């Protein structure tokens, strides 16, 4: 990419019990990870309304992560992650129709024990989004409004 | 009651007892070879011969078969009795000149040389028939009997051929007084080779338990095996334990019970599992019976163990040198990266026990000595003063030498040289790990697990016994490796937390729960099926969905799904989350640099 100073902005929607706990442990354990991911905590990945992801892209995010507890049995709320499992593939298809590369959207599962996996995801996904360059969806949306 | 005299001593007994049984009870010694309390007496060896005077007549009788009678006068030690036993021992020694038990007993009656020559000096069987009687009447397998007659009489299976009737229980080898029977396992052995396991099918699983109740291992117990094997045809085999139990406490009809309780709190204390050191082949575990784990050493040095607490090698000798290897499977990226915490201290204790009980030289291969507890460092110093060789460096390899000795190779990092010592016994301080079924317990109670597999506490510093599931607490090593004092403290904390919860009489629920705006609810019922707790019910008369606040756990799944936007997840409302997203992007990209570094 021509813009070598490009720092991607990534929003992570994490469930309180698994991936948020992993992210917390990764921090407490001083695991190195780029500062590009901003985390929004929800109690369950089943709470993540697809609107939140669209809103994040609309506000200027270059990438979005959705992560919860491993299916089948890890969910603190029995089966909230199953709902995520149903919703996210549909959302992914929708994003592609909107012209957003599906590499900008990651959804998956990281348990509370997998702090290292979280740190690795942050490193890999940041580089993946960096390679894609800025999304500029916000600017496009604003220019259409004008 | 019957009153009679033995060696001038007046004794009383109930009817039906034999003279030998009464004499044994009174502590009067009578030698026997073919007698066993669990087996019907037979009078084969005749060593229990005594002089009996009854109705003015004196006879020599075998005390194991003659019932006690009123007015009987029994003498166990007359010249006639001595002469009979001397003759018998001469015959036994002639038949079995190389059996230590026979040699000793013969020597007691002044017979040191066999009076008659033999062609088969390795004969061990004295034809006492104990094995036959045990197999017929106790085990009920009927795999052994006498064959032929006279001088060719001998013991064996029917037609002296291999038999399927033998169940390999080993009862015959246990009762045989001269060690003449050996069990040769051809295929899958019922008794696995567990030299340090329970010593019989009925055993006390935890010697410190109160009450100290034994259990029967029904996979090994002869009675249960015969019952299973014959589909109940032989349902009354053995039962020797029941016969011997004076308290009448043994009941073979007991079965496992499943007890259902309703409780307000659960403490998970499922403990740990000893890691199996065969997974790291360099320690040669399993290649020599003298390479044992720390837990097996505990069994060996336990007064209730197979050696009565003596520290012995597999061949019964005392070890002259012992190596203890720390961190076997712990702090090792090929097994467990974590420290198992308890091993340094128990390894030091075991070094002390070896020094104290055998005086053997002890070599401790350690990476770091983690004597972190109260008075632990002082104990470490004491062990050093006891003359234990401390070698700083992980034991790298154990080799079994052709003569059975064990060669331990490692590095002495303090001197910067490779070391190699030859020892008689190696103790592996193996890692402790999470129970193999911890995943099942975790999903049963909704527990998290840390990377090492142990259950995760709610917070490593501030909530060490609570879990993310309300009312479930953790105690002890199921949460991570810990020693006894730490486990006691941890358990005390878990019990206090559980009591505090119960004592309050009411439960505080989280305010972060869902709420339905009934004005907006379109009665589509989408939320009802989604709720994992059945906390949302449909109120027919009002035609709306309503959340039961006591049941709702606040996951927000219904909030995300409500097509009418009628459900609010308190503390995680759509407005709040969308505002968070907006807030994120108020910070210009340029300011990101340096953030978080």
What CATH number has the domain bearing residue B444?
3.50.50.60
Q: Does A90 touch chain B (CB under 8 A)?
A: no
Statement to judge: residues B238 and B289 lie in one domain: no
Distance in angstroms (rounded) separating the CA atoms of residues B557 and A87: 11
Is B456 within 8 Å of A113 when comparing Cβ atoms? yes
Cβ neighbours of B334 (radius 10 Å): 9
Does the pLDDT at position B189 exceed 60?
A: no
Residue ranges of alpha helices (H) inside B28-155 are: 79-95, 100-108, 130-133
Among B474, B508, B542, the domain-final residue is B508
Please give the ipTM for the structure prediction.
0.89
How many Cβ contacts (< 8 angstroms) between chains A and B?
105
Statement to judge: residues B503 and B528 lie in one domain: no
Q: Does A52 touch chain B (CB under 8 A)?
A: yes
Is A77 within 8 Å of B469 when comparing Cβ atoms? no
Query: Is B58 contained in some domain?
Result: yes
∠ CA B464-B468-B471, nearest 5°, is 85
Does the pLDDT at position B198 exceed 80?
A: no
Query: Is B239 contained in some domain?
Result: yes
Query: Is B39 contained in some domain?
Result: yes
A49-99 pLDDT tens trace:
999 999 999 998 999 999 999 987 788 888 889 999 999 999 999 999 999
Residues of chain A neighbouring B597 (CB-CB closer than 8 A) = 35
Q: Are B404 and B379 in contact (CB under 8 A)?
A: no
pLDDT-based confidence at A3, cuts 50/70/90?
low
Query: Is B572 contained in some domain?
Result: yes
Is B448 within 8 Å of A44 when comparing Cβ atoms? no
Is B581 within 8 Å of A51 when comparing Cβ atoms? no
Does the pLDDT at position A144 exceed 80?
A: no
Nearest CA in chain B to A73: B443
User: Residue A116 is inside which H or E element, if any?
Assistant: helix A115-132
Statement to judge: residues B361 and B383 lie in one domain: yes
Residues of chain A neighbouring B448 (CB-CB closer than 8 A) = 17-18, 21, 111-113
Among the listed ranges B1-10, B171-180, B375-384, which one has the minimum average pLDDT value? B171-180
Residues of chain A neighbouring B450 (CB-CB closer than 8 A) = 112-113
Q: Report the CATH architecture of A10-145.
A: 3-Layer(aba) Sandwich (3.40)
Query: Is B571 contained in some domain?
Result: yes
Statement to judge: residues B440 and B569 lie in one domain: no
Does the pLDDT at position B253 exceed 70?
A: yes
The confidence score (pLDDT) of residue A42 equals 94
Does the pLDDT at position B327 exceed 90?
A: yes
Query: Is B257 contained in some domain?
Result: no
Is A42 within 8 Å of B556 when comparing Cβ atoms? yes
Statement to judge: residues B236 and B358 lie in one domain: no
Q: Which domain holds residue B223?
A: 202-244
Statement to judge: residues B267 and B208 lie in one domain: no
Statement to judge: residues B357 and B462 lie in one domain: yes
Statement to judge: residues B419 and B552 lie in one domain: no
Is A35 within 8 Å of B592 when comparing Cβ atoms? yes
What CATH number should be reported for the domain holding residue B33? 3.10.20.740
What CATH number should be reported for the domain holding residue B535? 3.30.70.20
The confidence score (pLDDT) of residue B105 equals 93
Statement to judge: residues B418 and B545 lie in one domain: no
Query: Is B216 contained in some domain?
Result: yes
B258-308 pLDDT tens trace:
999 999 999 999 999 999 999 999 999 989 889 999 998 998 888 877 777
Statement to judge: residues B234 and B317 lie in one domain: no
Report the residue from B448, B556, B592 with minimal CB separation from A112: B448
Q: Would strands B215-216 and B202-203 be described as parallel, antiparallel, or unpaired?
A: antiparallel
List the domain boundaries for chain A.
10-145
Distance in angstroms (rounded) separating the CA atoms of residues B342 and B433: 12
Query: Is B539 contained in some domain?
Result: yes
Statement to judge: residues B281 and B379 lie in one domain: yes
Average pLDDT of chain B is: 89
Q: Looking at the 3D structure of chain B, how many domains does it have?
A: 4
Q: What is the 3-state secondary structure (H, E, C) of B215-274?
A: EECCCCCHHHHHHHHCCCCCCCCCCHHHHHCCCCCCCCCCCCCCCCCCCCCEEECCCEEE
Is B585 within 8 Å of A40 when comparing Cβ atoms? no
Report the residue from B443, B446, B572 with minimal CB separation from A42: B572
Statement to judge: residues B453 and B471 lie in one domain: yes
């Amino acid at each position: 990419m021509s813009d070598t100073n490009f720092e991607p902005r990534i929003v992570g929607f994490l469930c309180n019990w698994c991936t948020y706990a992993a992210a917390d442990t990764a921090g407490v354990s001083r695991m190195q990870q780029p500062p590009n991911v901003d985390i929004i905590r929800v109690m369950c990945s089943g709470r993540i309304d697809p609107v939140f992801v669209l809103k994040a892209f609309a506000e200027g995010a270059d990438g979005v992560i959705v992560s919860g507890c491993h299916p089948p049995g890890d969910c603190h709320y029995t089966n909230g992650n199953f709902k995520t499992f149903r919703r996210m593939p549909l959302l992914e298809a929708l994003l592609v129709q909107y012209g957003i590369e599906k590499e900008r959207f990651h959804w998956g599962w990281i348990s509370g024990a997998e702090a290292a996996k979280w740190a690795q995801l942050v490193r890999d996904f940041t580089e993946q989004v960096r390679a894609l360059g800025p999304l500029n969806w916000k600017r496009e949306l604003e220019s259409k409004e004008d | 009651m019957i009153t009679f005299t033995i060696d001038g001593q007046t004794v009383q007994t109930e009817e039906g007892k034999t003279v030998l049984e009464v004499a044994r009870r009174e502590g009067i010694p009578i030698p026997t070879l073919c007698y066993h309390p669990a087996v019907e007496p037979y009078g084969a060896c005749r060593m229990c011969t005594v002089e009996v005077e009854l109705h003015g007549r004196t006879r020599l009788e075998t005390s194991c078969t003659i019932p006690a009678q009123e007015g009987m006068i029994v003498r166990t030690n007359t010249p006639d009795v001595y002469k009979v036993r001397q003759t018998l021992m001469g015959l036994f020694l002639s038949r079995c000149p190389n059996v230590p038990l026979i040699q000793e007993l013969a020597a007691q009656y002044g017979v040191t040389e066999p009076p008659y020559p033999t062609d088969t000096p390795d004969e061990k069987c004295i034809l006492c028939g104990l094995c036959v009687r045990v197999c017929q009447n106790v085990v009920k397998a009927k795999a052994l009997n006498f064959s032929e007659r006279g001088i060719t009489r001998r013991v064996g299976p029917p037609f002296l051929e291999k038999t399927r009737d033998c169940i390999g229980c080993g009862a015959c080898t246990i009762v045989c007084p001269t060690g003449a029977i050996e069990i040769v396992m051809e295929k899958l052995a019922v008794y696995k080779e567990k030299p340090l396991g329970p010593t019989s099918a009925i055993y006390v699983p935890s010697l410190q338990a109160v009450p100290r109740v034994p259990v029967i291992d029904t996979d090994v117990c002869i009675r249960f095996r015969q019952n299973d094997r014959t589909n109940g045809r032989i349902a009354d085999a053995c039962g020797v334990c029941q016969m011997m139990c004076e308290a009448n406490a043994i009941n073979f009809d007991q079965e496992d019970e499943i007890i259902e309780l309703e409780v307000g709190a659960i403490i998970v204390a499922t403990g740990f599992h000893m890691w199996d050191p065969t997974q790291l082949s360099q320690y040669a575990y399993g290649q020599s019976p003298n390479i044992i784990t720390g837990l097996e050493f505990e069994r060996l040095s336990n007064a209730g163990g197979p050696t009565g607490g003596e520290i012995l090698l597999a061949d019964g000798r005392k070890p002259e040198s012992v190596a203890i290897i720390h961190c076997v499977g712990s702090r090792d990226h090929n097994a467990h990266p974590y420290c198992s915490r308890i091993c340094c201290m128990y390894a030091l204790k075991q070094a002390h026990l070896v020094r104290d009980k055998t005086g053997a030289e002890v070599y401790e291969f350690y990476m770091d000595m983690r004597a972190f507890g109260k008075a632990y460092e002082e104990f470490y110093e004491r062990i050093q003063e006891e003359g234990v060789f401390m070698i700083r460096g992980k034991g790298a390899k154990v080799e079994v030498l052709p003569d059975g000795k064990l060669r331990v190779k490692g590095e002495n990092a303090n001197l910067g040289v490779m070391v190699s010592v030859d020892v008689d016994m190696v103790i592996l301080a193996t890692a402790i790990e999470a129970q193999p079924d911890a995943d099942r317990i975790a999903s049963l109670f909704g527990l998290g697990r840390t990377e090492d597999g142990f259950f995760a506490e709610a917070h490593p510093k501030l909530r060490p016994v609570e879990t993310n599931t309300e009312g479930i607490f953790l105690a002890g090593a199921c949460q991570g490796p810990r020693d006894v004092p730490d486990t006691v403290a941890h358990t005390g904390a878990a019990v206090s937390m559980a009591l505090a919860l119960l004592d309050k009489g009411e439960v505080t629920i989280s305010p972060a729960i869902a709420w339905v705006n009934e004005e907006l609810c379109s009665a589509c019922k989408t939320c009802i099926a989604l709720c994992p707790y059945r906390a949302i019910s449909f109120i027919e008369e009002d035609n709306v969905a309503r959340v039961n606040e006591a049941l709702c756990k606040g996951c927000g799944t219904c909030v995300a799904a409500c097509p009418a936007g009628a459900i609010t997840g308190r503390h995680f409302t759509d407005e709040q989350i969308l505002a968070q997203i907006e807030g994120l992007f108020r910070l210009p990209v340029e300011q990101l640099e340096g953030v978080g570094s």
